[in-house]
Structure 1
Amino acid sequence: MLEPIRILSGAPSEPEAPSLPHNIEAEAALLGAMMIDNRIAEDVQLKLRPEHFFEPLHGRVYEAILRLVDKNMIANPVTLRPMFEADVSMRDLGGAGYLAQLTGSGAALIGARDFATQVYELALLRALIAVGRGMVETALDTSESVDPKSQIEEAEVALYRVAEQGGEEGGVKTFGQATRIAVATAERALNSGGHVSGITTGLDSINAKVGGLHPSDLIILAGRPGMGKTSLATNIAFNAAMRLVRDHEANIPDEKSVGAAVAFFSLEMSADQLATRILSEQSGISSENLRMGKISQQDFRNLARAAGELETLPLYIDDTPALTIAALRTRARRLKRQRGIGLIVVDYLQLLQGSGRSSDGNRVQEISEISRGLKTLAKELNVPVIALSQLSRAVEQRENKKPVLSDLRESGSIEQDADMVWFVYREEYYVALSSPKEASIAEGDSAADVTAFEEWQRRMEKAHSRADLIIAKQRHGSTGTVAMKFESRITKFSDLAEDYFTPMDE
């Protein structure tokens, strides 16, 4: 802890500003140990990054060592020398011979991991000091409109970044860093058997179209009431969480898994209602029968088995009603830190509340704040966010009931902030509503009535248990329609046997 500055009596003098916490000797000893035994790099690189070193030259040496080790090359003063012959800072310290000096003490091997921990923790302290200074400067500045709530929110984001990423600014990446991330994403898709470079939806037809759910993406899942958007979101959340469990059982590390722990913010349904839906899907028992107790002993055994299997599922449900976007972001950060969530579902967007400033009589502005907040959350936590959304009643007034982007309520900001927009559409729902009376020639009905009823039956048969997921917007690829099977009795979506993908009409 830094000592407070004491002002001594006598002649006034300017106190020296305390130096930032650092330990150059620990940094040097760690680098020397890594050059003597390259295996140390395998342990320390999981936490320690070049920017954690107080001395920039040490950060560059550390990065060079990791680069050689990654290529299965020996990293020592000889192999590193060509990489630092033109380095000005290295010349100031006597040239490449400084690398050999770093390896002068073999005793550093004993405490190498402790040195790495200390370098990391001192970097956190420096980042914390930077956040504290920024908070003080912002709070003292009253030149513009004073907004303490927003300052608290920004401070919380900065502190979360320190806790989660060790103070990394994250705003600027070299092209080399960006390409490594891109290659790692492609490798993940290859190892998953193709199609999935993000978090799996558990539905091959959707994965094939969108490549899974990508980190930092905001996915808007919209539909009219009765279309099954909550059911699809619940299915995806369960599938992602279950895939993570299976990958853990197969000893697949989290960074290579296409599953994820899921945070489900349900502003409409209670946690037990969502749990009932999931149990219904997995046990094959109608959720209505579950609620009313219309089940046999065998059904109950199936239910108990499913409940037992899902007891440790990494799916966390927050059913707090009337959440503000700021409160949701706070809870999501906490779940990310404590539970390591990799996917967030919000059901649904219009039930969230904005801040008091934007919600005073201007719903469009409030929705804009909420959609921007969800996109910011996706980028900040580097996880996909699925936000469910209602559609306007304009859909019901058209002959063609298939939704389009303009049907999104307060659609301007939602459409703009979203990386993908999905619409759930079930033709069966609308065909059932247009049922003509059952006709029969024997009863004297006209041939036209019989024809109309037979045509309706054909349409109903074709639409039965089928749902379409319309990909209306996708930054990563093309738009289109994915056909799925929907079992309304247990609210479960699954893949159709046939490949029903069709491109959208231009």
Structure 2
Amino acid sequence: MQELSTELLEKSILGTMMQENHLILDSDIRAEMFLSHTNRAIFQGMKQLANANKPVDYITLLTEVDLGEAGANDLTTLASFANLEKFEDYTELFMNGWRERQKISLLYEAQAENWTIDQIQTRLDQLLTNTATIETSIDDDLIAISERPFYPEDTSNIIPVNIKGLAKLITGFRQGEVTIIAGRPSMGKTDVMNYFALCAGLNGYLPIIFSLEMNRRMLLDRLIALKGNISRLKMRNPYKYFSQKQKDEWMNVLSDIKKANIHIDDRAGLTVSQMRAQIRKVMKKYPEKKPIIFIDYLQIIACEEYRQNQYLNIAYISSQLKVMAKDFECPIVCLAQLNRAVESRHNKRPVMSDLRDSGNIEQDADVIIFLFRESYYEQWQSEQANQPKPEYESLEFIVAKNRNGPTGIAYAKYYKTTGRIVEKVGEEAEV
């Protein structure tokens, strides 16, 4: 039964690699890890073609690689086992099975040759780390940075935030880093996400949004309102409520948003593994663009494994987001909810302990930004006093954690009816 399940795992991995050729060289899998000799031969053929920068498919494997009769027969069925969405899960199971077989073999060898405890421990440590090898010497790194003080810093890997006050604190979104943007419901989190996504897209980056709460149409309406400076109330029925000028500008607004090349996945209940699969797919389509990932929002990401409580689930998901940011070498900007404790305090500006089901968020995140509007709490009083609503509200970006820089507060103008965010002081920088 064990050999049967291993065979199915191997077939699924090989079938997925035939569909997504980049996985052949990206993964840490080696030919000797396959239990089936036929599957081992197929993988060796795949790697041979991939290293030669040739396409890997049914035809090329049959014509350019000698797989033998058994390998040729198995090729015809591999496509039916492919599952890109679960590739990482299956790969982990495959690697665990290989390690277990290696461990058993190692212990038999240790018994036969009467190894010491230290020898056994050393070999077990090697087994855990030999699935991926890297160069650990820092000599080349020192040479690479030797001229750093004499030339301007390369900022191509930092995605701009387009808010000067915030840029002074965090510079921008950095590759491999996780930024948490947290606030109470209706504080403006989604509008801030849209603003940053649009800015990134129009600056030539690849924004990928996972909208776990809001559907694609609603999010798109918000993007249009933001870019076109259109009241969201009018977006409910543009034919009825748009002015003639807004109708005339409609196609220009859509064209501008198209230039941003934003991708939206609005499936509910996504896991981090499912997000990884989708990110790979989009990145493969635009290999020349650097991605930035947006997630709305942390507490409703589905957990792959059941845990005792939500706190442990969030801790696991938080660590997975950090791993994903490092693996893809891209920034991840994830929205998060704050708990209700902030409402009971006189000073309602958020602090770290207000993060809902915080888990390891404080530890894993590189940057934590709280959103705060004083008017959010003054709205009821102004409505009771029949005071006119202001044109814009003051929005605070409270940088509470910054692993690579200072903390502090940046200010912006927030136009709630359209979702626009502009500089609080000086020239208004629009997207």
> When the two structures are superposed, what TM-score results if normalisation uses the length of structure 2?
0.65
RMSD: 3.6
1:322 and 2:269 correspond: yes
Q: Which of these residues, 295, 305, 313, is aligned with residue 356 of structure 1?
A: 305
Q: Does 1:310 align with 2:253?
A: no
Aligned to 1:236: 196
- Which has the higher mean CA deviation after the structures are superposed, 400-409 or 289-298? 289-298
Deviation, structure 1 residue 213: 0.8
Say if 1:471 and 1:479, in contact at 8 Å, map to a contact too. Answer: yes
The CA deviation at 1:202 is 2.4
Which of 168, 182, 199 is the matching residue for 2:159?
199
Q: Secondary structure at the match of 1:276?
A: helix
Question: Structure 1: how far apart are the matches of 2:217 and 2:244?
Answer: 22
Q: Which residue of 2 aligns with 1:174?
A: 137
The Cα of 1:136 is off from its aligned counterpart by 5.8
Tell me what 1:486 maps to: 414
Match of 2:293 in 1: 344
Listed as ranges, the matches of 1:469-484 within 5 Å are 469-484=397-412
Are residues 301 and 437 of structure 1, via their aligned partners in 2, closer, same or farther at CA, if it must alter by over 3 Å?
Answer: closer
Partner of residue 52, structure 2: none
Shift of 1:279: 1.1
Deviation at 1:339, TM superposition (A): 2.7
- Please give the alpha-carbon distance, in whole angstroms, between the structure 2 residues aligned to 1:186 and 1:274: 44
Q: Say yes or no: does 1:409 pair with 2:356.
A: yes
User: What is the CA–CA distance in structure 2 between the aligned matches of 1:275 and 1:186, rounded to whole Å?
Assistant: 44
1:348–1:388 Cα contact (<8 Å) kept? yes
Structure 1 residue 214, shift from structure 2 partner: 0.8
**Which residue matches 1:155?**
none
Which of 211, 219, 228 does residue 274 from structure 1 map onto? 219
Residues 297 and 405 of structure 1: CA distance in aligned 2, closer, same or farther (over 3 Å): same
Equivalent position of 1:392 in the other structure? 339
**Alignment partner of 1:369 out of 316, 320, 324:** 316
Higher normalized contact order (CA 8 Å, seq sep 6+, divided by chain length)? 2
Residue 123 of structure 1: how far off its partner (Å)? 8.2
What letter matches 2:224 in structure 1? Answer: L
Shift, 1:312, TM fit? 3.9
Q: Which structure has the greater CA radius of gyration?
A: 1
Aligned to 2:40: none
The one-letter amino acid paired with 1:485 is K
Cα distance change of structure 1 residues 225 and 189 upon mapping to structure 2, 3 Å threshold: farther
C-alpha change, 1:414 and 1:124, in structure 2 (3 Å) is closer
- Correspondence list, 1:69-218, <5 A: 128-129=30-31, 132=34, 137-138=98-99, 140=101, 169=132, 171-179=134-142, 190=153, 198-218=158-178
* Alpha-carbon spacing, 1:211–1:187, altered in 2? closer, same or farther (3 Å): farther
Could you say what secondary structure the match of 1:322 adopts? coil
Aligned to 1:219: 179
Matched residues in 2 for 1:183 and 1:130: separation?
A: 41
Counterpart-to-counterpart distance in 2, 1:125 and 1:430: 50
Q: What residue ranges of structure 2 are gaps of 5+ in the alignment?
A: 1-23, 36-94, 105-129
Provide structure 1 residue ranges, at least 5 long, that are not aligned to the other structure.
1-121, 144-166, 245-259, 440-458, 500-506
Residue of structure 1 equivalent to 2:119: none
- CA separation in 2, counterparts of 1:354 and 1:391? 20
Q: Which residue of 1 aligns with 2:110?
A: none
Between the aligned partners of 2:169 and 2:300, the Cα distance in structure 1 is 29
Whole-angstrom distance in 2 between the partners of 1:422 and 1:482: 10
Report the alpha carbon displacement of residue 228 of structure 1 after superposing the two structures with TM.
0.5
Letter in 1 for 2:163: L
Deviation of the 1:342 alpha carbon = 1.8
Change (3 A) 1:460 1:430: farther
Structure 2 vs 1, CA of residues 382 and 399 (structure 1 numbering), >3 Å: closer, same or farther?
same
Q: Which residue matches 1:465?
A: 393
Structure 2 CA distance for partners of 1:123 and 1:180, relative to 1, 3 Å: farther
Q: TM-score, normalised by structure 1?
A: 0.56
Query: In the alignment, which of 227, 231, 237 is matched to residue 286 of structure 1?
Result: 231
Contact 1:427 1:463 in 2 (8 A): no
Deviation at 1:337, TM superposition (A): 3.0
1:197–1:211: 8 Å Cα contact kept in structure 2? no
Q: C-alpha distance in 1, partners of 2:25/2:305?
A: 37
- Structure 1 residues 413 and 136, CA gap change in structure 2 (3 angstroms): closer
Q: 1:399 to 1:187 in 2, by over 3 A?
A: farther
Shift of residue 388, structure 1, vs aligned partner: 0.5
Q: In the alignment, residue 404 of structure 1 is paired with which amino acid?
A: V
